[in-house]
Structure 1
Amino acid sequence: MPGASDTLWDIAKAEVERRENHEGDRDGLECWGRSVFFIGNKNGGKTTIILRCLDRDEIPKPTLALEYTFGRRAKGHNIPKDIAHFWELGGGTSLLDLIPIPITTANIRALAIVLVLDLSIPNAIWPAMESLLQVTRKHVDKIIIKLGQTNPKTATEIKQKIWNNLPKDHSDRELIDPFPIPVVIIGSKYDLFYEFDSELKKIVCKTLRFVSHYYGASLVFTSKSEALMLKTRAFINNLAFGFDRSKSVSVDQNKPLFIPAGLDSFSQIGPPPSSDSDIGKLHAQTPMDLWKKVFEKKFPPKDIGVFKEVKDPAQDPQYAEYEVDAMRAQKNQELEQYKRDAAKTWKEMEFDS
């Protein structure tokens, strides 16, 4: 039983620990529907994408920390609806400690990651992409190792399943390091990115293609355009409800990229868009490091995910409660009056002295 002094977070933490302690008894096989975990740039459009995928006509609200919602889809008449769990991490890269919460041994077999990157701010792309993917990958690997201790067969199946997206005769099988679970990288705000200089778009497009292919991820560009949003929605529905996924491919940098996992190649992507002399001066240790250095030379890192000024949630309209807000306003008035009285008394004391 929770203690009287336990906070909501204490209770939630205890519940997660309780579930994880019992997962070994279930041999790690229980899975309640599919889960999709959205991470990415702050204000990149994650909430908008989720709402559109769930057919919810709502105005997107800022995500303060980690939010949860769910959706249902019917596959046929008299068939129980499938349920999908949607998690969204707010704050860009400022809340990395919350990433482990939605990733557990109970849902790892039916979990997918959606990384949303704001194409309109290229300088913020690499910092967010690198830190979010690294922390997520580290925890996913940890969960699979833990699952392997109780059910090695399931853990092996998870790691092997991701390779099925890549043809057995693909020339890059020995060169990539795919995530153990499905990943979709979404480049948002394409309508703003479309106005960029052609050379700048080339660097962004080729870099995201390289990263996506290396991690065995799908790559999709989207915007407020209905046509692009429908394509994005189809991808998310595939992850959330198992609906068929489009096999069409678009690699033209002058058009929105649309590349399902396993359908790109390093030979088609080509080398980093930089002169040979510049590449020779970068002293990169790995191909990923080389692409990072070329990208950051053109777009110096700018992490907009860390809060420089934390907004007061008590002032956020989405959390409005009349009785509480009225009492808070009264107490604020009393505090201001106390400050004025105290200041007046202090001045009188100075005058007397």
Structure 2
Amino acid sequence: MLSIPEIATQIIDKTHTNANDNNSRTIFLVGSKSGGKTTLLYAFLEKNDPPRETLVVEYSFGRKSNQKQGIDKTLCHIWEYGGKLETLNNVLQATPIRGKFFFCVMVDLSKIKNIWETLETCTQVMNDVYSTAESSPELIIICGKYDLFKNFDSEIKKMICTTIRSFALLKHAHLLFYSSKEPQLLRRAKDMLFNIAFGNCVPIKEKNTNYTKPLFIPKDSDTWESIGVAPSTIEQVKIRHITRIAPSSVTSASLPAVAAQMLAHPEAAVDALLALKYSELKNMESLDINSDYLSTLNK
């Protein structure tokens, strides 16, 4: 049987531990390369320095006084991962977590061929690392560069929004469209980060499911009926997406064959035009749509 001093020591240690957890938050931000992660964090932390490329992993923190607890402060630990997604598992396992944990996946809406790979890889690593943990992190999907995405073809925007909404619904994730170029969206993204860092999680007073406008959907508030598709598994959502938008790996594999055809019938004037068009198509990642899907738009 424990002595009174030993019991008292346990109570004090537990009290201190709970207090630290209650006053601590952890945000882990990962996702598309050059997708705007650093720009968003700099805006949130009110840094005036020009954003620099995150090579592997960077640590920042934010601190806010808690008036209800006197001199106590809420401390938010922020980890930003900018390395290859293939090594995310090792980095995430080594990242210390304190208090409430939010796992934010940044998706680049301007590169639609990479959307599924980013979502699938990041969330799979999160699930693998925390599958045996007592509590899983809260998942937030932030879709950046909306200022470019909003000018896409209406059918493409609808399809991408359907995929991302379906993924967020199945993964119980918050969903937010964001752009650093649009003040209202930047302010909303900063407010969301402020609330998960120092407040009571993601605010739910706002909501938009209209794909013609920037989406903002708190977790578990969407429905299959609202999305406009039948209830689906994650594999069904994936098949529906990649059959209409080929992943970048598929496109890259076909490029050598196309280049070989260009060299098969040399003719200076024609080859120059073909080279120009080939270069344009190679760089237009956002318009790499499956031909079968395009044919349905003419019916």
TM over 0.5, shorter chain: yes
The within-5 A match list for 1:5-24 is none
Q: Where in structure 1 are there 5+ consecutive unaligned residues?
A: 1-24, 145-154, 159-179, 273-285, 304-353
C-alpha contact 1:222 1:232 (8 A) present in aligned 2: yes
Determine if the alignment matches structure 1 residue 294 to structure 2 residue 240: yes
C-alpha contact 1:183 1:217 (8 A) present in aligned 2: yes
CA distance in structure 2 between the partners assigned to 1:95 and 1:44 by the alignment: 18
Matched with 1:232 is 189
Deviation string, structure 1 residues 6-59 (Cα, Å, up to 9, x no partner):
xxxxxxxxxxxxxxxxxxx98986636100000101111111111111111121
Matched with 2:218 is 260
Q: 1:269 to 1:85 in 2, by over 3 A?
A: same
- Aligned equivalent of 2:118, options 105, 111, 128: 128
**One-letter amino acid of the structure 2 residue matched with residue 296 of structure 1:** I
Q: Identity over aligned residues, as a percent?
A: 31
- Aligned equivalent of 1:76, options 67, 75, 98: 67
Matched with 1:249 is 207
The within-5 A match list for 1:139-158 is 139-142=129-132, 144=133, 155=134, 158=135
C-alpha contact 1:237 1:243 (8 A) present in aligned 2: no
Taking structure 1 as the reference length, what is the TM-score of the superposition?
0.61
Residue 73 (structure 1) shift: 1.9
Residue 92 (structure 1) shift: 4.6
Determine if the alignment matches structure 1 residue 270 to structure 2 residue 228: yes
Q: Where in structure 2 are there 5+ consecutive unaligned residues?
A: 1-12, 250-299
Residue 243 (structure 1) shift: 4.7
- Aligned equivalent of 1:88, options 80, 99, 113: 80
**One-letter amino acid of the structure 2 residue matched with residue 52 of structure 1:** A
C-alpha contact 1:184 1:217 (8 A) present in aligned 2: yes
- Secondary structure, aligned partner of 1:117: strand
Residue 74 (structure 1) shift: 2.8
- Secondary structure, aligned partner of 1:253: coil
C-alpha contact 1:38 1:88 (8 A) present in aligned 2: yes
Matched with 2:291 is none
The within-5 A match list for 1:1-353 is 31=21, 33-76=24-67, 78-96=70-88, 97-102=90-95, 104=97, 107=98, 109-142=99-132, 144=133, 155=134, 158=135, 180-224=136-180, 225-243=182-200, 245-271=203-229, 287-302=233-248
Q: 1:44 to 1:92 in 2, by over 3 A?
A: farther
CA distance in structure 2 between the partners assigned to 1:289 and 1:201 by the alignment: 21
Residue 137 (structure 1) shift: 1.1
**Coordinate RMSD, CA, aligned:** 2.3
CA distance in structure 2 between the partners assigned to 1:59 and 1:95 by the alignment: 27
C-alpha contact 1:210 1:266 (8 A) present in aligned 2: yes
**One-letter amino acid of the structure 1 residue matched with residue 39 of structure 2:** T
C-alpha contact 1:100 1:136 (8 A) present in aligned 2: no
- Secondary structure, aligned partner of 1:127: helix
Q: 1:214 to 1:53 in 2, by over 3 A?
A: same
CA radius of gyration, larger in: 1
- Secondary structure, aligned partner of 1:56: coil
CA distance in structure 2 between the partners assigned to 1:86 and 1:191 by the alignment: 26
C-alpha contact 1:40 1:92 (8 A) present in aligned 2: no
Residue 100 (structure 1) shift: 1.5
Residue 246 (structure 1) shift: 4.0
CA distance in structure 2 between the partners assigned to 1:296 and 1:103 by the alignment: 35
- Secondary structure, aligned partner of 2:106: strand
Matched with 2:253 is none
- Secondary structure, aligned partner of 2:248: coil
Q: 1:204 to 1:94 in 2, by over 3 A?
A: same
**One-letter amino acid of the structure 2 residue matched with residue 237 of structure 1:** F
Residue 302 (structure 1) shift: 2.1
Residue 206 (structure 1) shift: 1.0
CA distance in structure 2 between the partners assigned to 1:232 and 1:36 by the alignment: 14
Q: 1:198 to 1:92 in 2, by over 3 A?
A: farther
